[in-house]
Amino acid sequence: MKTKNKVIIIDDHLLFSQSLKFLINSFEDFIVVNNFENGKDFIDSVVANKINLDEIDIILLDVNMPILDGLKTMEWIKINHESSKVIALSVNDDEETIIKMMKNGAKGYLLKDTSPQIFEEALNTVSDKGFFFTELVSGLLINRLDNNKNIRLELKDKEIIFIKHACTEKTYKEIADEMCLSPKTIDGYRENLFSKLEIRTRIGLVLYAIKNKIVNIE
C-alpha cells in the first residue's frame, strides 16, 4: 500500500480546518496528521518533540491567526526548519502579504475559496516540484519582479543550468553532485546570482526563471 504524504493544518477557524481535513483525507495521496489553532501551538509541539518536521511533507499555514500569525510562524519555520514545504492560506490576495510569505520560504499561496481540484493540484505540485503558484499569485509576483528588473541579464550556460536545478526540490548539495561541482562552487553560483539579479531568496530565483522562460510551471 502506497504511503500517503503527511499534512499539518495550522488554522484558527475550526470549521474551515475540519472541512479542509476532510477534503484532504479524501485525496488519494495525502492524509492530515495534525491540526493546530495558531502558530504558537504548532511551534510548542515541535519544540517539545511531539512532532518531527522531517516526517511532515506539507504544512498548510493560515496567514491571519491570533496569538502567533502566519507571517511570524513562517519566519520561525524558515530559521528552524527551512526545508519544510509550506503552503500559505488566506482569505485575501494582498500583494505585500504574498511577497512576505514567499520571501520567508512559503512554496505556494492559496486563497481559501480555491476549488478542491486546484487544492489537490497544489498539494501534488508542491510535493513533486517543490512550489506551486496560481495565475493570480504568479501575476502579482512577476509584476513585482518586472518593476525591479526590466531587462534580462546575460547568464553563463552553467548559471542557467544551476537555475534550472534550483527550480526543483533538490538541495544545494544534490545540485552540486548533479553538476559535478563542489558545494562551495555551488554556493558561489548562488551568491553571485543573488547579487546579479538583486534577489535574496531561492524563490526569487524561481520567479526570475519563470518570468524569463528559463523554466515553466506547467
Enumerate residues 6+ apart whose C-beta is below 8 A from 209.
163, 164, 166, 167, 215
pLDDT recorded at residue 151: 44
pLDDT recorded at residue 135: 62
pLDDT recorded at residue 22: 95
Q: 67 or 201, which is more confident? A: 67
* Grid coordinates belonging to 1: 500500500
- pTM confidence score: 0.69
Span 30-55, average pLDDT: 94
pLDDT recorded at residue 217: 52
Give per-residue pLDDT as tens, 137-193: 665 565 555 554 444 567 888 888 998 888 877 888 999 999 999 989 998 888 888
Q: 82 or 211, which is more confident? A: 82
Q: Per-residue pLDDT for 199 more than 70?
A: yes
Q: What is the DSSP string of 159-218?
A: HHHHHHHHTSS--HHHHHHHTT--HHHHHHHHHHHHHHHT--SHHHHHHHHHHTTSS---
Q: Which stretches does DSSP call E strand in 66-155?
A: 86-90, 108-111
Q: Per-residue pLDDT for 93 more than 80?
A: no
Amino acid letter, residue 10: I
pLDDT recorded at residue 56: 94
Q: 30 or 142, which is more confident? A: 30
Q: Per-residue pLDDT for 218 more than 70?
A: no
107 pLDDT band, cuts 50/70/90, is: confident
Q: Per-residue pLDDT for 216 more than 70?
A: no
**Biggest CA-to-CA distance, the chain:** 51
CA angle 124, 4, 176 (to 5 degrees): 60
